């Protein structure tokens, strides 16, 4: 195991895997990784400069006869190196991510996630061919339910690094700002959650009760790998300017534009000011609004369309049948349900999705890589753990939908592994 989500999920997953007879090791790169592991006999502390990581990793893979690597997010430098070496050695890589069908699921894949996922190369027709008879009748709620836990574990993780990272001082992290700055941002967000919730509710009521048509823009975290590694934009400023310019030129004069911040945005960039200044420069300040979060479902229900870089939250727009304009690489960028119109044309006459195609796509994900639960709340972790160990031990990839006769053979093989 390499780096995982903030909190105890990876430690609990390791215990569940060990119950099957597996031997699990954890490589930690800072005091936060070490704090949430708590088992010195299976903990490998990496305390060298990162340019030595490839060589050290090769040694660890050979010394411990590693057959599988488990990690969260595939674009971190230490993870990208591990994936490359695993492929060269024929080692299976298990990748966790936040749910593609958020808010109620997590994602489990092999080999890569997001822009590196196998889903990017699969057509809707191929997914339909692999669907089980009868489809999947699961509906998603429109709330996540684990935000407080996520923020709490994020703050605790960075506090551990801040006060206990002396042994890891030669290891450079993958974040763009310092650990102390990130800890302060997490702590402030945790303390201000009640205040921000009241402010968001008031702003949301003004927008949904405004009596005007509006297009919703889903912003992502400025340091999100999907934005930085899988999109045509250099940064969030580039995206915001592109959207406002397209809206000013193409949208009907009575339409409005609403920017919604990511629920975990920590304020390292003043997005409200960024949006306001761009709107003023295009002469549409009175028709552009900014929300620092809010209930996504309640914002999407009355919306005319949705625009994003490649946020997974955009799938809630598709689920509702809303026209969607997305940029860059994403697992849902399929021509059947994502518009490829120029922004000016999209804001003028947005083309809607093929809802039957999207339903098939969604059912395929629910039958394969989406597992119910979350990484942060205790009840959510228990939900995930009930299913994820079987998924990891399965002899086939999640997207390889076995036929009934293959399923029986796979189950027998799995039982042999567990026993």
Name the phi and psi angles at 201, rounded to 5: -60, -40
Q: How confident is the model over 77-92, as pLDDT tens digits?
A: 999 999 999 999 999 9
Q: On the CB side of 221, how many CA atoms lie within 13 Å of its CA?
A: 13
- 190: pLDDT confidence band, cut at 50, 70 and 90? low
Mean pLDDT for 233-261 is 96
* pLDDT class of 403 with cuts at 50, 70, 90: very low
Sign of CA dihedral 68, 69, 73, 79: negative
Q: What sections of 101-235 are H helices per DSSP? A: 124-130, 147-164, 179-208, 225-229
Q: DSSP labels for 28-62? A: ESSHHHHHTT--GGGEEE--S-GGGHHHHHHHHHH
Confidence of residue 412 (pLDDT cuts 50, 70, 90): very low
* pLDDT score, position 372: 92
Residue range 207-235, pLDDT digits in tens:
888 889 999 999 988 777 778 788 899 88
**Is residue 195 pLDDT above 90, yes or no?**
no
- DSSP H or E segment with residue 108: strand 105-110
Backbone angles phi, psi at 372, to 5 degrees: -70, 140
pLDDT digits (tens, 9 = 90+) for 330-350: 999 999 999 999 999 999 999
Is the pLDDT at 176 greater than 70, yes or no? no
pLDDT at residue 18, rounded to an integer: 96
Question: Is the bond preceding residue 103 a cis peptide, omega within 30 degrees?
Answer: yes
pLDDT for residue 99 is more than 60:
yes
CA distance 45 to 381: 25
| DSSP β-ladder status, 214-218 and 105-110 | unpaired
CA 209 – CA 95 distance, rounded (Å): 42
* 46, 33 contact by CB (below 8 A): no
* Domain map (residue ranges) of the chain: 9-143+364-418
CA atoms within 13 A on the CB side of 48: 11
Mean pLDDT of 131-145: 58
The whole-angstrom separation of Cα 374 and Cα 294 is 20
pLDDT in tens, 38-73: 888 899 999 999 999 999 999 999 999 999 999 999
């Amino acid at each position: 195991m390499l780096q995982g989500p903030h909190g105890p999920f990876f430690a609990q997953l390791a215990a569940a895997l060990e119950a099957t007879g597996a031997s699990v090791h954890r490589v930690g790169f800072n005091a936060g990784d070490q704090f949430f592991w708590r088992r010195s006999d299976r903990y490998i502390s990496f305390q060298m400069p990162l340019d030595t990581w490839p060589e050290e990793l090769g040694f660890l893979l050979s010394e411990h006869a590693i057959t599988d690597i488990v990690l969260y997010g595939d674009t971190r430098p230490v993870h990208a190196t591990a994936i490359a070496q695993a492929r060269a050695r024929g080692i299976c890589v298990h990748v966790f991510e936040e749910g593609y069908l958020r808010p109620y699921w997590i994602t489990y894949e092999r080999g890569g996630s997001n822009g590196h996922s196998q889903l990017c190369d699969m057509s809707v027709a191929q997914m339909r061919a692999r669907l089980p008879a009868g489809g999947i009748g699961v509906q998603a709620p429109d709330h996540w339910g684990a935000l407080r836990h996520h923020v709490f574990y994020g703050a605790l993780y960075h506090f551990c690094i801040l006060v206990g990272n002396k042994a890891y001082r030669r290891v450079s992290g993958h974040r763009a700002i310092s650990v102390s700055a990130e800890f302060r941002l997490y702590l402030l967000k945790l303390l201000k959650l009640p205040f921000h919730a009241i402010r968001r509710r008031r702003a949301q009521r003004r927008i949904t009760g405004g009596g005007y048509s509006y297009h919703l823009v889903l912003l992502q975290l400025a340091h999100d790998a999907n934005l930085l590694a899988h999109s045509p934009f250099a940064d969030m400023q580039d995206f915001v300017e592109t959207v406002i310019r397209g809206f000013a030129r193409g949208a009907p004069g009575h339409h409005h534009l609403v920017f919604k911040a990511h629920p975990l945005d920590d304020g390292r960039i003043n997005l409200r000011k960024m949006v306001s200044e761009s709107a003023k420069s295009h002469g549409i300040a009175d028709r552009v609004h900014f929300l620092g979060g809010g209930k996504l479902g309640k914002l999407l229900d009355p919306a005319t369309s949705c625009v994003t870089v490649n946020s997974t939250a955009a799938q809630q727009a598709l689920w509702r049948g809303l026209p969607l304009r997305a940029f860059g690489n994403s697992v849902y960028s399929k021509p059947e349900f994502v518009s490829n119109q120029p922004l000016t044309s999209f804001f003028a006459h947005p083309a809607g999705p093929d809802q039957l195609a999207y339903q098939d796509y969604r059912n395929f994900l629910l039958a394969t890589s989406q597992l119910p639960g979350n990484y942060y709340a205790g009840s959510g972790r228990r939900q995930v753990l009930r299913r994820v160990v079987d998924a990891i031990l399965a002899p086939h990839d999640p997207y390889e939908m076995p036929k009934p006769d293959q399923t029986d053979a796979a189950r027998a093989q799995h039982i042999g592994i567990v026993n």
